[in-house]
Amino acid sequence: MSDTHAQTVAFVRHTEIPPAPPPPGQTGAVKWMRENLFSGPFNTIMTLLGVYIVYTLVVGIFPWIANGVWGVDNIRECREITQGNGGACFAVIEQRWQQLLFGFEYPSSEYWRPTFAFVLLFVAVAPVLFLNLPRIMLAFTGIYPFLAYFLIWGGTILIPITALLGFVVGYFAFRRLERNSFAAGLFGAVAAALITWWVTGFLVQAAPNFLALPEVASRNMGGFMLNMILGTVCVSLSLPIGIALALGRQSHMPIIKWICVIFIEFIRGVPLITLLFVANVVLAYFFPPETSLDLILRVIIMITMFSSAYIAEVIRGGLAALPRGQYEAADSLGLDYAQATRLIIMPQALKISIPGIVNVAVGLFKDTTLVSVISMFDLVGMIRGPILSSTDWAGVYWELWAFASVLFFVVCYGISQYSQWLERKLQTGHR
Amino acid sequence: MTIATDPPKESFRLSMLINDTRYRSYTFQAIAVLALIVIFSILGNNLAQNLAAAGLNISYEFLGDPAGYDINQQPIPYDSQSTHMRASIVGALNTLIVAFLACVTATIFGVIAGVLRLSNNWIISKLMSLYVEAFRNVPVLIWIIIIFTVTANVFPQPRDFRGDNPTASMVGDAVAFTNRGVYVPKPVFEAGGWIVVAVFLASIAGIFLWRRYARKVLFDTGRIVPVFLPSLAIFFVPALLAYFILGRPIGLEYPELRGFNFQGGLTIRGSLIALWFALAIYTGAFIAENVRAGILAVSKGQTEAAAALGLRSGRIMNLVILPQALRVIIPPLISQYLNITKNSSLAIAVGYMDLTGTLGGITLNQTGRAIESVLLLMLFYLTFSLTISALMNVYNNSIKLKER
Amino acid sequence: MKTSVFIGALTVAGLSAGVAAAGTLDDVKARDMLNCGVTTGVPGFAEPDANGEWQGFDVAVCRAVAAAVLGDSTKVQFVPTTGKTRFTALASGEIDMLARNTTWTFSRDVDLKFEFIGINYYDGQGFMVPSALGVSSAKDLDGATVCIQTGTTTELNLADFFRANNISYEPVPIETGAEAVQQYLAGACDVYTTDASALAAQRANFETPGDHVLLPEIVSKEPLGPLVRHGDNEWGDVVRWTLNALITAEELGVTSENAEELAGGTDNPEVNRLLGTEGTLGEMLGLDAEWAKRAIMTGGNYGEIFSTNIGEETPIGLARGLNAQWTDGGLIYSPPFR
């Protein structure tokens, strides 16, 4: 060490050298490609392989789309035009898109109704999904189910209004009686709502055509609309049931706990399709002899049971993730179980569970295609049933399946992107 | 959960059933039990009434009757005169076969895609994202039908293999890809063939024992015992030795085109392939996400710490990253396996004769015993799921972080 | 959130269920709608057209019953059913009658407690092969791969036929007719088997129908007919005699065009009884006098229904064959109206 200091230095630079430009191989696109595509022999092989896959995909699909035939009436005309040049026959979608979207029995003059309900759905779910929107919009979310029912099923507007009225009356009864005890409030609310429905039922019967839209039976729902209806209705219904089941499973009362555990594990242990078989071929035996619930209702019941078991497990995860201190803090404030759950536990647990719930919802939405197996004409059922067996379009597979895949992809990808966005947002909130 | 501070009063009032937390839980449970009994008795009563009105009864005797239909894929001997019971067992075995194959394949696809999605290679990682998103966001039923259509339309027909100028030919004269399925050579066991198999199985067990031994030596003495090459040797050498010493007791039966179809050999039918690959690719996309999440969950500090200790990169992966990542990956992986098993019931869409196709399909159609068949069907899936879940819990407890 | 949809729908269902009475006939009248089970789509027999209207041979029977009972052939709710769901749908009361190509068999009649009210189509299970295969008899099919449309008695007949002839085959069961055809056309099976009528109907849709032949063997008897629940004989009678009215109308030369005119009175007493100008047949059924006339005027008599939906002028192109009137050497025969 001392040596180096002892020597005198011949030259010392006092100014900084201006930085030289990087070598050409280390900048811009070349550098990016070297680092990202050709960083080693293995990587190079993978890149070439990837390029080849992309090439085959493009070469395979491009002529199919570019030579696609529009505006003919049946597959024979299509075949005449394509003459084996690999073109698709998109005419089937052009001719049948209404059936694919709405089913073949929904009156075509009323298509605006489900479309309008679909658009309003975005307005209704927006305040639930994006917490920074004005809270007043939640009022519309509350009204939406009744509005959607009126739009899609039609009939007199009195039915949804009286149904809404029942809920409103029940709510006020709850607010009044809740001061005594939560249980009294709950039972009072249910009783008040039932009485309201019973009384207003006469009103509905008296004026069945008051402000009525043409009625559409649920049997006539079909196509992608049926998937949407089943998805939204069942997920919405299963939320409260799922919360109840999750709380029940966490409960200290052994009988309640075991009922919930058995229900959840049973439902999660069997495939949805067997539950649909139950809806289709078994459930009818369990209703009173003279009633006949139609198939869509039975399916809604079974899918709701199915999804509520899964949602219960997600919410249970949320409950378990809450720090123990939250429960203890609520207890120490003197809140009883109902108050603590409603005011402290659930809001936090639900917030943590939203991504999980959204995942369940996406999965469930995809699973609604299974109803095609039990002869319901949803999007897949429409394709497998009436369209592919019709004289005009027997033999057009790829176009129809591509159409169905794209529809599902757009919806599911959109929702899962939202879920990922939310997860990121919630994560930063916790760190 | 407020705790009563007052000493309990002797007198019991009825209102305490609602207002006193000590009694309230009994009230609620009593109500729940009562409600349950009422619901079940109403349902049971309705069922009895409806069945009586239709003149039907609940009976499982149909399981003993001849089924009368044929099943193409028979893991156990079966013909049309066998009972419905046997048809159901064949179906259940077929369910397990496709579930097992799909689980293995899905894991392979998922691990590859999950790792490659984290790759630095831009094209590869984007392609893998495309794969994952495309398959995750489209219903599995649509994928099953699409892949079934692909197998039927893309592969050549058996009759294309015929003639002087066949348009299709077998791969290496041993494997034929047709739109009815893939025909592969089938091993034929002669006397002593089973000994070779037994030796082979024993050597697989031997590999595990060797690994345990190597681990023990490593932990006890710090000496590193080679694992890979000895494992390879144990895997091949004894079985090959036994094979040749016993005079090649295992032959191969090659498929050949006779009549309408390839005969002989082992047939992997188109319906099995469609269901198998659709489930594998679909679930593989989900597993890829689990794998990616698992790898990302191991913090970078672990890698750096291991590197600081002087471990080579292979050992870092084996000894540090993987054990931690697996703890995150395995639980969702098992639930994906359960999903595969449950989704295999969609076999009905492609005519694969699994349990839903036999018991829940043709048997139900022919006997009209809807309630009994669906009940048995659910019972099978439930038993299977619960068994796997129970095993899963045992495993989870064994790998749980032992906190000190 | 959407509880109301559910509850609202429940209310609707409850209201409609509340008026249910004892007999199916009264139920149908009270509901003012006939629930009729059909297939999910067999060309010519029951399929929705581009406008969503159900068309076909089986559908016409439903419409005739609706016209007879309710006076309006459009008051039919068609409920698509699969092979699996049809019997439960009928047994549980979801549908009032099943007009789907369902074979009348002993066990369905006796064990499953249904009542077949007649036969509207005499069918048999046949085989279709590509003519390039050079097969002329089903007995040459040793080792063939056979596509089956599941859900009817097809699987059982097939197993019986191959066992009886001691030849082997490879069954490929497919759920829907469209998918079975797709597999067959792609060559994934050598033979396609189902009811001969459906084979002919589906072959008509092929790109080159001439390249496929139906083998001469018909391996089973498949009497297809509408069915109702066991034990409600009034309703069974209504459906049975509506079908018989269509058949008798053809025998007597009553068509959708001349029914109105003949209802003015003719010299033939049976025509008069059929059309309600003589006797009280309608009253005995619990209907009005003109029930049969409305049924006939809906889609015509049996012969007209046959020729407009599946006859030789249609793409399906089925000959009458066994389904000709008994007077023309067929099996279609109705008990007399008296």
Split at pLDDT 50, 70, 90, the class of B16 is: low
Q: Which residues of B touch C150 (CB under 8 A)?
A: 351, 361-362, 365
Name the residue facing B127 among A50, A259, A334 (closest C-beta). Answer: A50
Domains and CATH numbers, chain A: 101-430 (1.10.3720.10)
Q: Which residues of A touch B137 (CB under 8 A)?
A: 362, 366, 408-409, 412-413, 416
| Distance (Å) of CA B61 to CA B58, B65, B66, B363, C169 | 9, 7, 11, 13, 29
Pure H helices in A37-136: 41-66, 75-82, 91-102, 112-129
What gap in Å lies between CA C93 and CA C96, rounded to an integer?
Answer: 6
Rounded to whole angstroms, the Cα distance separating C63 from C73 reads: 5
pLDDT of residue B7: 54
Query: What pLDDT, on the 0 to 100 scale, is given for residue A219?
Result: 76
pLDDT in tens, C185-242: 888 888 999 888 888 878 877 778 888 988 888 888 889 889 998 888 889 999 999 9
DSSP assignment letter at B222: -
Residue B26: what pLDDT? 82
Q: Which pLDDT tens digit goes with each residue over C75-131? A: 898 888 877 778 878 887 888 899 887 888 888 888 778 889 989 899 888 899 998
Question: Does B378 lie at the interface with A, CB-CB under 8 angstroms?
Answer: yes
Mean pLDDT of B159-169: 73
pLDDT, position A291: 67
Q: Which residue stretches of chain A have pLDDT < 50?
A: 429-431
Shortest CA gap C41–chain A (Å):
6
Residue of B nearest to C149 (CA): B351
pLDDT per residue as tens digits for the range B227-246: 888 888 888 888 888 888 87
User: Across all residues in chain C, what is the average pLDDT?
Assistant: 83
DSSP 8-state assignment for residue C189: -
pLDDT in tens, B123-151: 888 889 999 999 999 999 999 999 988 88
* CB < 8 Å from B in window 348-377 of A: 362, 366-367, 369-370, 372-373
pLDDT of residue C268: 86
Q: Do C186 and B180 touch (CB under 8 A)?
A: no
E strands, A179-292, in order? none
> Considering chain B, what is the average pLDDT of its residues?
84
Identify the residue with better confidence: C8 or B203: B203
The whole-angstrom distance between B125's CA and the closest CA on chain C is 36
Please say if the pLDDT value at position B4 is more than 60: no
Query: Hey, which bits of A138-243 come out as E strands?
Result: none
The minimum CA-CA distance between B294 and chain C, rounded to whole Å, is 36
| Cα–Cα distance measured from residue C2 to residue A141, given in angstroms and rounded to the nearest whole number | 10
What is the tens place of the pLDDT at every residue in B110-120? 988 988 888 77
Q: Do B121 and A50 touch (CB under 8 A)?
A: yes
Contact A239/C1, CB-based, under 8 Å?
yes
For an interface test with C, which of B273, B350, B366, B369 has the most C Cβ atoms less than 10 Å from its Cβ?
Answer: B366
Q: How far apart are the first and last CA of chain C?
A: 60
CA distances (Å), A106 to each of A225, B277, B286, in order? 10, 37, 36
Residues of B in contact with A265 (CB under 8 A): 386, 389
| Among C7, C89, C181, beta carbon nearest to A163 | C7
Q: Within 13 Å of residue C103, how many CA atoms lie on the same side as its CB?
A: 23
| Chain C interface, best mutation among B365, B373, B377, by max C CB count within 10 A | B365
Domains of chain B with CATH codes: 100-161+169-355 (1.10.3720)
Cβ–Cβ < 8 Å for B102, B340: yes
Q: Which of A208-217, B375-384, B394-403 has the highest mean pLDDT?
A: B375-384
Which of B55, B72, B365 is closest, CB to CB, to C171? Answer: B72
Per-residue pLDDT at B5 exceeds 60: no
Q: What is the pLDDT of residue B88?
A: 92
Q: Which residue has the tokens 């009905």?
A: B348
Q: Express each pLDDT in B26-74 by its tens digit.
A: 888 888 889 989 998 988 888 888 888 777 778 888 888 888 888 888 8
Find the residue in B nearest to C174 (Cα). Answer: B351
Q: Which residues of B touch C182 (CB under 8 A)?
A: 149, 152
Instruction: Give the CA distances from residue C313 to residues B90, C47, C308, C309, in Å, rounded to whole numbers and listed in that order.
Output: 47, 18, 8, 9
pLDDT in tens, C163-191: 888 888 888 888 777 788 888 888 888 89
Contact between chains at B137 and A35 (C-beta distance less than 8 A): no
Name the residue of chain C whose CA is nearest to B157's CA. Answer: C187
A81-91 burial, b at 16+ Cβ within 10 Å, e below that, comes to bbeeeebbbbb
Window A:261-320, CB contacts with B under 8 Å: 265-266, 268-274, 277-278, 281-282, 284-289
A·B CB contacts under 8 A: 160
pLDDT at site B371: 86
Q: Could A277 and B149 be called an inter-chain contact, meaning their C-beta atoms sit closer than 8 Å?
A: no
User: Under an 8 A CB cutoff, do B70 and C145 touch?
Assistant: no
B145 in reach of chain A (CB within 8 A): yes
Task: Give percent of chain C above pLDDT 90.
Answer: 12
Ramachandran angles phi, psi of A378, nearest 5°: -80, -170
Per residue, what are the HEC states of B141-189?
A: HHHHHHHHHHHHHHCCCHHHHCCCCCCCCCECCCEEEECCEEEECEEEE
Determine the distance from the C-alpha atom of residue A250 to the mean position of all C-alpha atoms in its chain, rounded to a whole number.
Answer: 26
- Paired with A141 in beta bridges are none
Whether B153 sits inside 8 A of C186 (CB atoms) is yes
* Residue B193, token pair as written in the block: 């063939």
> Is any Cβ of chain A less than 8 angstroms from the Cβ of C150?
no
* Confidence (pLDDT) at B6: 56
pLDDT of B298 higher than 50? yes
**What is the token pair recorded at A264?**
């959840």
pLDDT above 70: percentage of residues in chain C = 93
What is the rounded distance in angstroms from the CA atom of residue A242 to the CA atom of residue C1?
13
Quote the percentage of chain B above a pLDDT of 70: 92
Q: Mutate which of B21, B43, B123 to disrupt the A interface (most A C-beta within 10 Å)?
A: B123
Disruptive mutation site among B260, B358, B363 for chain C (greatest number of C CBs within 10 Å): B260
Structural domains in chain C? 23-122+224-328 (3.40.190.10), 125-220 (3.40.190.10)
Contacts of A269 in chain B (CB under 8 A): 381-382, 384-386, 389
- Please count the other Cβ atoms lying within 10 Å of the Cβ belonging to residue C56: 26
Q: Contacts for A190-196 with beta carbons within 8 Å, 24 or more apart?
A: A192/A166, A193/A166, A193/A167, A193/A169, A194/A166, A196/A162, A196/A165, A196/A166, A196/A169, A196/A170
